[in-house]
Structure 1
Amino acid sequence: MLIQPRRISFAAVLRIAAGLLLLLACAFGYAAQGSAGHDPGRRAGAVVNRLPDWRENTAEVRVVRRELQPLIIAAMATLDAPRRQEILDGKGAIAVIYPDIGEPYRSIFSKIIEGIQEQAKVQISTYPVGPNSNAGDLSAQLVRGGVKVVIALGRQGLKAVSGLTPEIAVVVGGVLSVPESESRNLTGISLTPDPALLFALLKRLLPSIKRVTVVYDPQHNDWLIKLAREAAKAQGLELVTREAHDLASAAHLYDAAFAVADSRQDAIWLPQDATTVDDETILPLVLKESWSRGLPVFSSSFLHVKKGVMFALYPNNLGLGRDLASSALGVLSGESRKRGVSPLREVLTAVNLRTASHIGLNLDYQQQRSFDFIFPEP
C-alpha cells in the first residue's frame, strides 16, 4: 500500500517562508551592523524569539525548513559560534532565579524580571524557588537548558545558586548586601541606593549642609560606608561615622549626634541597617529630635518618608532589572567582570513636603515635579 505524502497548503508555506525570510533579512542586516559596534547575535535572537512557528516540529515546518536551511546557515555564519548555536537551538543562555513568594514582594520581583527581559532581548528562563528547593536539581536543570549566566534575585535566589557548577556565572540582585566573603566571587547590584546620589540630592536641596552623621553596624554596612566616604568628599561634605552593634548603643549615639548638631549645617543619614535604624525604637526617637531641632534627616528607605523623614531614594525596579540584564549580557560576551556588589543607581526619589517646610525648605512646583513621590500626596 502506498503512503500518500501529506499535503501542505500553499498559505502555510507562504506564512512560514515569510517568517524565515524576515529572519534572514534581520540576521544579515544585524550582522552587517556588528562592525559598527552593534550586537548582531542578540538582535537576531530577538527576531527568532518573535517567530516561534519556524521551530515547531510539524510536517509543514519540517519541509519548508529543510528547503531553506542552507540560507539560514549562511546568515548565521556571520555570527560567532556560541550565539549561532543559541539562536538555532532556541535556548536561553540567561536564567533568572527568584523567590516564590507572596505579595507585595511578588510584584517587586516581577517588575525586576520585566526589566531583565526588556533589556536582554533574548529568551530568558525563569525559575521560582522556595525555602526547600533542591540546589542539585536546579543545577541539573540549568545545565540541561544551556544556561551560561544566572541572575539570582533575593536571599532565596542567592541561596539557591550557592551550589551551582562553576561554569555558570552568577549575577545577584534584589538584596541589601552580600557578605564580603561571598561577594568576591559574585557580580551584582544591591538594593541600597548609592550614597553619591543621596549626597548629591542633599546638596542640591540644602547647599548650606557641611556635615553628615551616620550610625551603622559595620557587620552589615562596612562596604557602604567605604563608598560613602568617597562620595561625601566629592560633595565637599564631612562624613561623621559612628559604629553601633546593638539598638541600645545606636540610640545613645543618635542622642550624642543631636546634642552637638547645628541645624544650619548638619544632617543625619539613615541607612538601611536593621541594627541602627529600627522602626519601632530608633526611628521615632530620630524623628522627634529632628522635628524639635529643625535638623534635616534623609534616608535610604522609602517608608521613612511617610513617617516624617525629609527625603529618600528607593529602587526603580524596572531600571534595576535592565542593569542586571546588561551585567549578564556582558558576562556572556566575555567582558571582564567587576567582582563584588555595587550600590543601586537606578533610583526613584521621594520627599515629605511638610517636613521640608518645617525646616525652612519650601519647594516650588517645578522642584516638586522632579520627585517621583510626594508626601502628603496632593
Structure 2
Amino acid sequence: MLLRVVLLFLTALVVASPAFAAGKDAIAVIYPDIGEPYHGIFEKIIEGIEDKVGSPVANHPVGADTDIGVLKASLLQQNTKVVIALGRQGMKTATALNNNISIVVGGVLTVPENEARAQPVISLTPDPALLFARMKALKPATKRVFVVYDPGFNDWLMKLAREAAHSQELELVAYEAHDLRSAVRFYREIFSAAGGRSDVLWLPQDSTTVEERSILPLVLQESWNKNLAVFSSNSAHVRRGVLFSLYPDNVALGKSLATLAQGILISGGYRSRGMMPLRDVQSAVNLRTAQHLGLNLGFQPGFDTTFPEQ
C-alpha cells in the first residue's frame, strides 16, 4: 500500500513538473552568445516570446564551440518540441541537432533558399508591402519605384515586392546587379530616367547594391540634387539622409516567432515554411529630408524615431 502511494506521488510530480507539462518547456530559444548591441536585441525578442507563451522559456546562448551533444541532451531533458533559433549562429546550431525537434528561425536578414525551405524563417527585412504603403502615404503621387538588387541575396524579396507593387498600383522597376560596378551603372541610369513627383528609389538590405562607402554616398547626393525620395530597408540610412525606413519591433517579433512555434505544437507539423518578411515594425523618418522634398508630415501617423534627433 505504501509503495503504491509513493508511486502515485512520484507520478504526480513528473506530470506536474515543467519538463513534462504541456506547453511549459516545449519551446526553447537558441541564440548567439555575442556582445552588445546584439545581445540586447536578442533579449527583447526573447521577452516577446515569453510574453506570448505566458511563461519563461529555456534559452541557450551558443557559439562556434558549442557541444551539440550536450545541447541536444539538455533540450530533450527539457521536453523541447520546438526550438526558436535566432541569428545565423542560432540557426546553424539548431539545424546541426538533427533530431525530431522542429525549428523556427528569426533574427536573420536572409537564408539560402535550399536552407529556408525546411522551416519558417522570419527575416529582419521589412515587408515591401509595408514600405510601399508608407511611401504612398508620405507621397501620394508615387507611381514608380526603382530598385537595384542582387538576385543571389534578394530574389525572394523581389517576388514579394512585385506582388506588393501590383496590389498597390505601383510600377516596380527592378535592376539585377551581381557586382558593385553594374550596380553603380544602374543607379546612374535611374538618376537619368527618374524625375518628377511620381518616382521614388528603394534601397533594400543588400551588401552588393547598397554598399556603404561608395554607393550610399552617391545615392544620397544625387537624390538630394534631383529631389528624389529615397526610402530604405536599413534604418541606419535614415540618420544619413534617407527619407524613412522601417525596422524591427523586437518584442513584437518575438511574439510572432512564438505564435509560429505554438502553431507547430498544436498541429504537430509546419503550417508554413521558407522566408517571410518582417511585419512587426517601427518607423524612422528624417525630418530634414522630408522638408527638403516639400513633404508635410503633420497629417502622418507618428514615427517612432526621428532624425535629426529632437
TM-score, normalised relative to structure 1: 0.76
Partner residue of 1:357 out of 272, 286, 291: 291
Report the Cα offset of residue 144 of structure 1.
Answer: 2.2
Residue 273, structure 1, aligned to residue 206, structure 2? yes
> Which residue matches 1:142?
75
Report the Cα offset of residue 370 of structure 1.
Answer: 1.4
Structure ranking higher in helix proportion? 1
Report the Cα offset of residue 91 of structure 1.
Answer: 5.5
User: Where do residues 34-73 of structure 1 align in structure 2 (5 Å cutoff)?
Assistant: none
- Contact 1:314–1:348 (Cα < 8 Å) also in 2: yes
Report the Cα offset of residue 138 of structure 1.
Answer: 1.8
Partner residue of 1:288 out of 221, 229, 245: 221
Report the Cα offset of residue 85 of structure 1.
Answer: 7.8
Q: Secondary structure at the match of 2:225?
A: helix
> Which residue matches 1:337?
271
Where does the alignment leave 5 or more consecutive residues of structure 2 unmatched? none
Q: Distance in 2 between matches of 1:142 and 1:209?
A: 51
- Contact 1:173–1:188 (Cα < 8 Å) also in 2: yes
Q: Distance in 1 between matches of 2:307 and 2:56?
A: 40
Report the Cα offset of residue 376 of structure 1.
Answer: 1.2
Residue 174, structure 1, aligned to residue 107, structure 2? yes
Q: Which amino acid aligns with 1:97?
A: I
Report the Cα offset of residue 278 of structure 1.
Answer: 1.0
Note the alpha carbon deviations across 1:72-107, whole angstroms, 9 max, x for none. Answer: x8xx9xxxxxx998328x961111000000011110
> Which residue matches 2:42?
109
Q: Secondary structure at the match of 1:297?
A: strand
- Contact 1:91–1:145 (Cα < 8 Å) also in 2: no
Note the alpha carbon deviations across 1:340-360, whole angstroms, 9 max, x for none. Answer: 121000000111011011111
Q: Secondary structure at the match of 1:86?
A: coil
Partner residue of 2:168 out of 235, 239, 242: 235
Note the alpha carbon deviations across 1:294-322, whole angstroms, 9 max, x for none. Answer: 00000011100000000100000010001
Q: Distance in 1 between matches of 2:146 and 2:60?
A: 42
Q: Which deviates further from its counterpart, 136-145 or 267-276?
A: 136-145
User: Where do residues 1-378 of structure 1 align in structure 2 (5 Å cutoff)?
Assistant: 86-87=20-21, 92-334=25-267, 336-364=270-298, 367=300, 370-378=302-310
Q: Secondary structure at the match of 2:228?
A: coil
Q: Distance in 2 between matches of 1:210 and 1:282?
A: 24
- Contact 2:119–2:274 (Cα < 8 Å) also in 1: yes
Where does the alignment leave 5 or more consecutive residues of structure 1 unmatched? 1-61, 77-82
- Contact 1:135–1:160 (Cα < 8 Å) also in 2: yes
Identity of aligned residues (%): 56
Q: Distance in 2 between matches of 1:85 and 1:275?
A: 46
> Which residue matches 1:34?
none
- Contact 2:143–2:199 (Cα < 8 Å) also in 1: yes
Quote the RMSD (CA, aligned, Å). 2.4
Q: Secondary structure at the match of 2:125?
A: strand
Q: Which amino acid aligns with 1:331?
A: I
Q: Which amino acid aligns with 2:306?
A: I
Q: Distance in 2 between matches of 1:265 and 1:278?
A: 26
Q: Which deviates further from its counterpart, 290-299 or 127-136?
A: 127-136
Point out the structure with max Rg over C-alpha: 1
Structure ranking higher in strand proportion? 2
Note the alpha carbon deviations across 1:10-66, whole angstroms, 9 max, x for none. Answer: xxxxxxxxxxxxxxxxxxxxxxxxxxxxxxxxxxxxxxxxxxxxxxxxxxxx99x95
The alignment of Structure 1 onto Structure 2 pairs a total of residues equal to 303
Higher relative contact order by CA 8 Å / sep ≥ 6: 1 or 2? 2
| Stretches of 4+ aligned residues off by more than 3 angstroms | none
